[in-house]
């Protein structure tokens, strides 16, 4: 990973360290084939739930991963920010509404 990607991970972990696990279980669906590893979701997640990781199966070499799902508060900021529609939060729940 590049330096800026490691920095994004470190900053996310700092945010996570200030949070407690969410009271509600939220389901995050990441579609690896759509993820280009830009890190926008990692940067915007207020709870540090997401991280970037090296991914040799991706043509971009890096992709996002759901590192600590128990910290997700379901705010959907990642979903709204992702330019490639690669991440969804509580998708099934939304479909039922
Ligand atoms: S914002 Fe979307 S494309 Fe970028 S790393 Fe996150 S899931 Fe992947
Ligand atoms: S829904 Fe909010 S808390 Fe959950 S992973 Fe996305 S940005 Fe982070």
- Smallest Cα–Cα separation from 86: which of 55, 62, 63, 54? 63
Reported pTM:
0.94
Domain that holds residue 53: 3-96
User: Under a CB-based contact definition with an 8 Å cutoff, are residues 74 and 12 in contact?
Assistant: no
The residue that leads in pLDDT, 96 or 85, is 85
Give the mean pLDDT of the chain. Answer: 95
CATH number of the domain at 25, please: 3.30.70.20
User: Residue 56 burial (CB < 10 Å; 0-12/13-18/19+)?
Assistant: exposed
How many distinct structural domains can be found in the chain? 1
What lines the ligand 1 site, CB under 6 Å? 35-41, 64, 81-82, 84, 86-87
Confidence of residue 41 (pLDDT cuts 50, 70, 90): very high
Phi-psi label, residue 59: left if phi above 0, alpha if psi -120 to 50, beta otherwise: alpha
Q: For ligand 2, what atom is nearest to the CA of residue 44?
A: 7
- What's the whole-number mean pLDDT along residues 44-62? 95
Confidence class of residue 97 from pLDDT cuts 50, 70 and 90?
A: confident
Backbone angles phi, psi at 47, to 5 degrees: -115, 5
Average pLDDT over residues 1-10: 96
């Amino acid at each position: 990973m590049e330096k800026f990607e490691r920095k994004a991970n470190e900053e996310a972990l700092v945010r996570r360290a200030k949070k407690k696990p969410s009271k509600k279980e939220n389901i995050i669906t990441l579609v690896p084939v759509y993820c280009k590893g830009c890190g926008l979701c990692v940067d915007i997640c207020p709870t540090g739930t997401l991280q970037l990781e090296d991914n040799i199966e991706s043509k971009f070499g890096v992709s996002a991963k759901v590192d600590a799902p128990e910290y997700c508060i379901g705010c959907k900021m990642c979903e709204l920010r992702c330019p490639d529609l690669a991440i969804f939060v509580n998708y099934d729940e939304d479909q039922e509404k």
